[in-house]
Amino acid sequence: MGETKALRFLAERFKVARKEVLIGIGDDSAVLELRNKACLVASTDTLVQGVHFDLENQTPSQLGKKAVCVSVSDIGAMGAVPKFLLCSIGCRSAEAVQFIEGVSMGVREGCQEFEVSLVGGNLSESQTIFINMTALGEVSADRMVRRSGASEGDGIYVSGTLGDSAIGLRILSSVPEISGYRDLISRHINPTPRLSLGRMIAERGVASSMIDISDGLFCDLGKLTTEHGLGAEVNLGELPLSSGFVSLSREFSEDPYRLAVSGGEDYELLFTSGKNRAAIEQVSRLCGVAVSKIGSVTGERRIRFFGEGGEEVFYDTEGFEHFC
């Protein structure tokens, strides 16, 4: 079925008519209006051994911290402020004490860094190790940013750099092990959710739509465009790539751009905007986070990539998708 089709099926089956539900299934987070335009923002995410991590190259503490980062990133992509967490952990009984203690250390570090509080959760014996994190936040109804909202002619922008996490994962999995490049490995193990940037983008009304990049630029750009009857043109030469990515990417891919657009787990913000570029640059400067324009929204329902010489480049993968 594929993850995208599964989500569409569930969104259709669980349509909610209650007026308090401003956003249900299908966005980074659900948004529920409480009173006086104050909204509760809720999101959940799961890290599963063998799918999202391998305990041979990541510690329980690192996984706990990453679970926090991934969860609050979804809240930040709505322009909201994360406040509370609920954490469920599943592991085998033989390693429960050590694993739970390690995860709790990482979760505590994440809570302190992002000023959120763990208020509950669940523990379960499981043959497959997993960490599930539910994040709760708040935003004003007139400031939240959805995945829908882009218009033809809007610019497409991305924060930070792309592909570093994908390279970091490949370094961790490489045999023989590649030495150095700790920054790239850190981008995979310890991602940086762009909370202050997302909040300022929302407060200033800069973005027409926004998402955090978890499944890869190609895949997540489709959630802002093609899923809403629009398209996009992306200039590969404008993609923000770190020096470490550039120097190492050809070790793992003949086409570095392909890895940058489909690698996933960047947790950078991808957004569209009809505002002038000066407004975007001001937000970037105030938050201290680089923001790059990489293309524009089109009215043709497909995503097109163009190389540095202006030639169209075709990719047969859109990024990571479960159940495929």
For the sheet with 312-313, list strands across it.
209-212, 269-273, 155-159, 291-298, 231-235, 303-306, 312-313
Is residue 176 assigned to a domain? Answer: yes
In this structure, the answer to whether residues 125 and 173 fall within a common structural domain is no
Name 194's Cβ contacts closer than 8 Å, sequence gap at least 6: 73, 76, 159, 160, 212, 267, 268, 269, 287, 289
**Do 226 and 306 sit in the same domain of this protein?**
yes
Residue 317's pLDDT is 64
User: What integer pLDDT is reported at residue 319 of this predicted model?
Assistant: 52
Same domain, 136 and 159: no
The per-residue pLDDT for 215 is 92
Is residue 133 a part of any domain in this protein? yes
At 128, is the secondary structure helix, strand, or coil? coil
User: Which of 115, 140, 165 marks a domain boundary?
Assistant: 140
Indicate if 29 and 167 belong to the same structural domain. Answer: no
| Parent domain of 86 | 8-140
Please count the structural domains in the chain.
2
Predicted pLDDT at 323 = 42
Whether 266 and 133 map to the same domain: the answer is no
Q: Are residues 169 and 117 in the same domain?
A: no
Burial of 144 (C-beta count, 10 Å sphere; 0-12/13-18/19+): buried
254 and 167 share one domain = yes
Report yes or no on 257 lying in a domain.
yes
Last residue of a domain, one of 106, 140, 174: 140
According to DSSP, the β-strands at 81-91 and 117-125 are parallel
CATH number of the domain enclosing 234: 3.90.650.10
Report if residue 323 sits inside a domain. no
Domain C-terminal end among 109, 140, 171: 140
The verdict on 102 and 172 lying in the same domain is no
What strands lie across the sheet with 30-35, from one edge to the other? 21-23, 30-35, 38-48, 130-140, 81-91, 117-125
Q: Do 308 and 166 belong to one domain?
A: yes
Domain of 127, CATH number, reads 3.30.1330.10
Mean pLDDT by 10 residues, the chain (324 residues): 61 67 74 85 92 88 97 96 96 92 98 97 94 96 93 98 94 78 93 97 97 95 96 98 93 90 95 95 97 98 95 77 48
Does 47 lie in the same domain as 134? yes
Q: Which residues contact 69 (CB under 8 A, 6 or more apart)?
A: 110, 114, 190, 191, 192, 193, 267
> Do 284 and 290 meet the contact criterion of CB atoms below 8 Å apart?
yes
Alpha helix stretches (DSSP H) within 77-129: 96-114
Q: Identify the pLDDT of residue 11.
A: 60
C-beta separation of 158 from 292 below 8 A: yes
* Residue 3 placed within a domain: no
The answer on 298 and 164 residing in a single domain is yes
Q: What was the pLDDT predicted at 315? A: 87
| 130 shares its domain with 169 | no
pLDDT (0 to 100) of residue 53: 86
Establish if 146 belongs to a structural domain: no
